Amino acid sequence: MKMKKSAAVFILFLLCSLAMVQSEYSPVYIGSQEGFKEADKISSLPGQPLVNFDQFSGYVTIDPSAGRAFFYYFAESEDPSNKPLVLWINGGPTCSSLGIGAFEEIGPFRVNRSGKTLAQNEFAWNNLANILFLESPVGVGFSYSNTSSNDVIRDTEVALDTYAFLVNWLERFPEYKTRDSFLAGESYAGHYVPQLAQLILNNNKITNQTIINLAGIAIGNPNIDYETRLYGLYDYLSQHALISDEIHEGIVLNCNFSSVDTVTEDCKTVTNQAKEARGNTYLYDLYAPLCTSFSPSPSTLDFNPCADQDVLVYLNTPQVQESIHANATASIQGTCGLSLEFDQFLVLTVLPVIQELMTANISVWIFSGDTGGVIPVTSVKYAINQLGPPTVKTPWYPWYSQCEVGGYVVEYENLIFLTVRGAGHFVPYYQPARAVTFFTAFIEGKLPSPQQKN
């Protein structure tokens, strides 16, 4: 695909910047947080091993009149005062950061096959930072709204609500107010994270309220641009021999992915053929096993294809919900996808927002597992090319983790693109050690090591 969209991206960027300058800041609601932190402390999760760090979870009201409250889970590090703060948001747009982010990816524990006990995750990110998992938007995980509204949720409201959450949460945990803060997430958080970063930077300039000390963002297999995502998806499936050349050519000839409206019936016919052609493969990680009746009981370090099931059993146990101060009426139905309606096609690209963050010198990391087929590495590369592409500062090189190539990295001006070898869509789930290596580099603000060392 050869297209120059950089001019259009730049004009969009100018328009967005103008709109931002003109927008008025309306102070967010800040409720009294007196006593909440103590109440949110988790004494112990059912079935957890002994640990030396503190955990907190509970609700932060973001809009008392609408009865909107966000659920969070906070895993501090063992040495919390010397570590940065990282907000982690899963995508979806309706995936639970508690269910997936905390218990399947980067949190301190993994759920055992029984769904009753926990094992320590030696590759937990709270070894390196204080990790705040947020269930967003309302209706996801244990977050809820008391007012039933027919309004479709959109990106803009999510950013405003998440900002309100953060400012209130920082009142509850004031020791983190001046801490270096990072935002991270994956998939549809490719929208949430840059949009929240943009709002933070803007509000930092004009508000009298809390200044958030934003140091950088990291987004994994991110949904950042509709058009390049779809072109990249079919190129990737073809290059990985999951669909035939004929089907791929049919897509090239019949599909125009420049907007939702340009996708014709003829195009849908061939994309359906592509779906059929690849069979029941696990698109989130092409070579991973499915959760079937043949799935063995894994030990902690083995990949557990049934993790979703085990996490749901665990989180829907009444004692677990009690221990995390969750509201049982908002119980988790699935780790992704709930009752709420979300318009994910209102904003088709966030590339202008990413460009704006780069211009503001925020450290932007885009990482991508190279065996994930939902938002494949090919799509991510095409999207970055739409940014100019930016000037290369450090050319492409292999980075190492545990004496093996962990993936590849290229540093552009104000943007780092990093692949994770052998990782699917949920990078830290499939490659926990490699994920820790690049996460360490990210929060230290340096590139991962090119040396094959111990």
Ligand X SMILES: *[C@@H]1O[C@H](CO)[C@@H](O)[C@H](O)[C@H]1NC(C)=O
Give contact residues for ligand X (rule: CB under 6 A): 25, 27, 47, 112, 117, 119, 144, 146, 207-208, 256, 258, 262, 299-300, 327, 329-330, 360-361
- Closest CB to ligand X among residues 155, 356: 356
CB of 59 to ligand X, least distance (A): 6
For ligand X, which is the closer residue by CB, 117 or 449?
A: 117
Whole-number minimum distance, CB 69 to ligand X, in Å? 6
Closest separation between CB of residue 114 and ligand X, Å? 7
Q: Which lies closer to ligand X via its Cβ, residue 361 or residue 452? A: 361
Beta carbon nearer to ligand X, 68 or 381: 68
**Which CB atom, from 213 or from 281, has the smaller least distance to ligand X?**
213
Smallest separation, CB 155 to ligand X (Å): 23
Q: Give the other-Cβ count within 10 Å of 273's Cβ.
A: 16
Cα–Cα distance measured from residue 217 to residue 313, given in angstroms and rounded to the nearest whole number? 32
Shortest distance, position 301 Cβ to ligand X, whole Å = 8
Q: How far is the CB of 374 from ligand X (least distance, A)?
A: 23
Asked if the bond preceding 137 is cis, omega within 30° of 0, the reply is yes
Minimum CB distance to ligand X, residue 202 (Å): 12
Nearer Cβ to ligand X (46/398): 46
Please report how close the Cβ of residue 302 comes to ligand X at its closest, in angstroms: 9
Identify which of residues 34 and 261 has a Cβ nearer to ligand X in the complex: 261
Which is closer to ligand X, CB of 214 or CB of 420?
A: 214
